[in-house]
Amino acid sequence: MNHPLVSIIIPIYKVEQYLRRCLDSIVNQTYTNLEIILVDDGSPDGCPQICDEFAAKDNRIVVIHKENGGLSDARNAGLNICKGVYISFVDSDDWINPQYIDVLIDIATKEKADIAISEYIKTTENNRKKQNIIFKKNFSSKDALLRLFSKNNIAFTVSWGKLYKRELFSSLRFPIGKYHEDEFTTYILFYNSKKIVYTSEILYYYYQRAGSIVSTRHPWDILEYLEQRYIFFKEKKESDLLPLLLPPLCWQLLCAYWHQSKNKNISNNYLNKLRFYIKDFQHIKKPLLHYIPLKIFAYIPQLYLIYRRISPLHIRKEF
């Protein structure tokens, strides 16, 4: 069996308490042909020393010490030097099953897939979920995108928990300074793939800490990626995806207007953009539960402001 080199990129910042657990799970993979890239993103704790300690014991490890630039910048630093045929990302407070790479590279090569996706579990050291029946499913690029834009799609959305062919990143990098950076990139990776394979086997252990990036919503970045992905697929003339992408963008624009009014900084910029996008409903299959209230609120925004004050629930309450 061919054993192609796999590059695992780990961005590291202020995770001294969890880093050894993460690195132990990587160096002890049953698949051994690895390039393990540790990107010390200017961590002010003991992480740089731990990285150097592991590198001294394992010649597969490459350490990058750099000034702090954020998660995207750290991942990009790893992408810029990696040599693997395949690439995987692991966050430094998470850990992986000993067979994580073995399973993913096996299904990727057998199915001739550009991306292999594993299931994950949100967990702590003392909380392990029992594995359900394991199944595998192949997706075309279009089917994977439909799954990505549906509910319960976290395993598909995030950058970690996957194995990618290196060429998918030949002209793509993570956006610097953005939260939810996965949302800016995953749909492009799926679009540029011919085949994607998913396994329900739990191989990635996701540990969400209080104060971690994903524990807080960042609504302006959410609005930006919603608009970017809608424009992307509109330009690609992917008409069957637009009904899924347009409503959340329009609701988020309304939320932005509400946020401005709440802070007494009312501007019509978001309303004007909303009205512009609402016109696109004329050219796609209209989800009426979205189209009718959106059109009313776009032209009588006072009704929306009243609605937000009296209703504790909202279709997209990101702000």
Among left, alpha and beta (phi > 0; psi -120 to 50; other), residue 10 is: beta
pLDDT tens column, 254-277? 988 888 887 767 678 899 999 999
Categorize the per-residue pLDDT at 169 as very low, low, confident or very high, splitting at 50, 70 and 90.
very high
Joined tokens for residue 151? 């509910």
Place of tokens 């073995």: 102
pLDDT at 120 over 80: yes
Query: How is residue 35 annotated by DSSP?
Result: E
Give the start-to-end residue ranges of the domains of the chain.
6-215, 236-310
pLDDT tens column, 40-76? 999 999 999 999 999 999 999 999 999 999 999 999 9
Categorize the per-residue pLDDT at 150 as very low, low, confident or very high, splitting at 50, 70 and 90.
confident
pLDDT tens column, 188-198? 999 999 999 99
Average pLDDT, the chain: 90
Query: How is residue 130 annotated by DSSP?
Result: P
211 burial type by CB count under 10 A (0-12 exposed, 13-18 middle, 19+ buried): exposed
Q: Please name the helix (run of DSSP H) or strand (run of DSSP E) that holds residue 269, with its range, or none.
A: helix 269-278
Categorize the per-residue pLDDT at 131 as very low, low, confident or very high, splitting at 50, 70 and 90.
low
Categorize the per-residue pLDDT at 130 as very low, low, confident or very high, splitting at 50, 70 and 90.
low
pTM of the entire predicted model? 0.91
Categorize the per-residue pLDDT at 316 as very low, low, confident or very high, splitting at 50, 70 and 90.
very low
Query: Long-range contacts of range 285-291, CB-CB < 8 Å, 24 or more positions apart?
Result: 285/243, 286/243, 287/243, 287/247, 290/246, 290/247, 290/250, 290/251, 290/315, 291/247
6-215: CATH topology: Spore Coat Polysaccharide Biosynthesis Protein SpsA; Chain A (3.90.550)
Q: What is the mean pLDDT of residues 109-126?
A: 90
